[in-house]
Structure 1
Amino acid sequence: MSVLSATDVRRNWSQFNDDIVREGPQFVKRNRDEWVAMSTEQLKAAFSNFTFHAHLVQEDDGTITATLDQFDLVENGSSEKEVLEALTYELIEYSQEYMENFKLYFHSPNRKAHFPYILNVVAQDHPENVRQLITCQAGVK
């Protein structure tokens, strides 16, 4: 694996960006820090298997409750479409919160495993694409 120096990257910034998009991810080392740069398309491909599974339950009052496996996200709505839309926006909001508080969330034992899922959400360019990451198991009659 080829690792570029940060000095070389800085010196050839435009070429570095072109190489990422056209050739693939690039690994960089600066002192003791190492990092990777990739395009959004590559990020989506790398994390495409990190999807979500929702359980739907019809409540006694006729509403539907959706819970997301491995996440503390629960939504309720009058229809499957409504509850999945609410769950999608809640997932987007949680992902934004995770990224805004990255140091805290990433280093929290109960939230660290969320990271690849969060990256898959933030890489999406439209809420409908996030909605497509959620599959359902209906307990709805």
Structure 2
Amino acid sequence: MQVAQATEVRKNWSSFFDQVVHDKPQAVRRNRDTALFLSKTHMEEILSQYRFTLEYEIEEDGYYSGGLKEIDICWSEPSLEELKQTIAKDLVEYAKTYMDNFALYHNAPNRRDHFPYVMHVLMKDNIQEVVELIDADWERT
């Protein structure tokens, strides 16, 4: 990938930004550090494979109990839709906490793999879009 220098990007910021959004991702180097810039659309394409699997069972009392396979979030609710809604809300809170404590979470071996999932959740505009990332898989016992 071709790498632009930060001083050039700064001089031509509007043009650079338009290229990133409407054309293709760009790499920029400042001193020894390199950063990638890409549009929200391109990021959504990259993250599209990071979905959640909700494994659940129906309890004797009719409640739906389950948790995510990818991130340890578990709940019990009266319906499958309510279970997905509650877990989606927890996902949003977890994603915010992850980013607020990024150095800690991203460097923890048991949480490092959560990063693309967290980014995918944060890219969504509302809770219903997060719910749509959750695929339900009924556990037969």
TM-score by length of 1: 0.94
The answer (yes or no) to whether the contact 1:27–1:36 under 8 Å persists in 2 is: yes
- Secondary structure at the aligned position of 1:95 is classed as helix
Q: Is the 8 A contact 1:66 1:74 kept in 2?
A: yes
Deviation (angstroms), 1:31: 1.0
Is the partner of 1:75 in helix, strand or coil? strand
| Shift, 1:75, TM fit | 1.3
Indicate if the aligned counterparts of 1:3 and 1:28 stay in contact, CA closer than 8 A. Answer: yes
- Aligned twin of 1:8: 8
Equivalent residue letter for 1:103: A
Aligned equivalents of 2:74 and 2:8: distance in 1?
Answer: 47
**CA RMSD for the aligned pairs?**
1.4
Task: Extract unaligned runs of 5+ from structure 1.
Answer: none
Structure 1 residue 60: Cα displacement:
2.8
3-state SS of 1:135 partner = strand
In structure 2, the residue corresponding to 1:49 is in which secondary structure?
Answer: coil
Matches within 5 A, 1:108-119: 108-119=108-119
Is 1:94 the counterpart of 2:94 in the alignment?
yes
Query: When the two structures are superposed, what TM-score results if normalisation uses the length of structure 2?
Result: 0.94
For 1:56, give the aligned amino acid.
Answer: Y
1:23 paired with 2:23, answer yes
Q: How many residues align?
A: 141
Within 5 Å, give how 1:21-60 maps onto structure 2.
21-60=21-60
Percent of aligned positions that are identical: 35
Deviation by residue 1:47-71 (Cα, 9 ceiling, x = unmatched): 1001110101122332111200031
- Does structure 2 retain, via aligned residues, the 8 Å contact 1:56–1:67? yes
Deviations 1:89-130 (A, max 9, x none): 111111111111111111111000111111111111121111
Matched, 1:126 2:126: yes
Q: Could you tell me how far apart the structure 1 residues matched to 2:68 and 2:34 are?
A: 34
Could you say what secondary structure the match of 2:108 adopts?
Answer: coil
Equivalent residue of 2:49, what SS?
A: coil
